[in-house]
Structure 1
């Protein structure tokens, strides 16, 4: 039986790598080209996805959410110059997550989450993982829209495509 929070996180990694792979096919200037969208550039969107993923990782390893947010605000504002730099930091963070998953037998375990935006709530690890995957999906959609506004094609990175990619890789 599959562990669905882990499966969804694997999808998140795959989808991030898929969009970064598409970005590597384009001229490097596309990363920092300004666009009228949710973020001023694709680099800003990627920095945001990374910063939020890192913040949730810190929460999962025991950092209180207000401190994790404070620690990751600078990451949200740190704009990389190349897609390879984004690829590197996303890969490093995914390895940290994988190690965390290996150390957790029960993803239904709860913590008391003190979310400064919404208050205190008992929250399962699995809910946090599902949220970060959903957040990444939302913002990869922003990146796809930004690419189209810049006259570039995006790339399919839907969960349903991941199913088939996963099957192909396991053969």
Structure 2
């Protein structure tokens, strides 16, 4: 896998994360936390889940320890704190992908699940791809929820990342 692909995905992640938070910024807190029938119920909890995934996978990739409360539990109750941490993580991911090379990507990563119940091993390129796919999947859910509440995130297509 070409590390340039992951740099593009990281740039897309940063752009879209900022777009989503901008679209959420003027929502009343109760509206962001409203159970909308999504997998993680609310926009707020889905944003927390994306950050959870980013922290778990970046911890596995880098060895750094990140706080989280487990699958499905909000890391941050405050929207401002969540936004600050999420944007910082997006920036961290962007910096980290600059260090990737084809040799590292071609190796395997072995990890233990967050609940400690299973150990798995997969190619690193697949897991880094999953990091970005996971973000995109759940941001897509959020953009739908925002659209249903009358808010437009704007263009979300990868080819239209601002240069």
Q: Shared fold (TM-score greater than 0.5)? A: yes
SS at match of 1:112: strand
Map Cα deviations across residues 126-155 of structure 1 (whole Å, 9 max, x no partner): 322221111111111111222234x32332
2:131 paired residue number: 132
- Equivalent position SS for 1:73: coil
- Whole-Å Cα distance in 2 between the matches of residues 71 and 48 of structure 1? 10
Compute the RMSD of aligned alpha carbons. 3.0
State the partner residue of 1:158.
157
What is the distance in 1 between the residues matched to 2:61 and 2:93?
Answer: 9
Give the aligned partner of residue 6 of structure 1.
Answer: 7
| Partner in structure 1 of residue 123 of structure 2 | 123
Task: Indicate the residue corresponding to 1:95 in structure 2.
Answer: 91
Structure 1 residue ranges, 4+ long, deviating more than 6 angstroms after superposition: none
Question: How far apart in 2 are the matches of 1:39 and 1:29?
Answer: 15
Matched, 1:43 2:44: yes
Deviation at 1:32, TM superposition (A): 1.6
Distance 2:108 2:66 in 1: 17
Identify the structure with the greater helix proportion: 1
Deviation track 1:11-56 (CA, whole Å, cap 9, x = no partner) reads 1111111111111143444222232222221110000000000111
Structure 1: 5+ residue stretches without partners: 167-171
SS at match of 2:17: helix
TM-score (normalizing by structure 2): 0.77
Aligned residue pair count: 157
Alignment partner for residue 111 of structure 1, among 108, 112, 121? 108
- What corresponds to 1:169 in structure 2? none
Do 1:47 and 1:79's aligned partners in 2 also have CA atoms closer than 8 Å?
yes
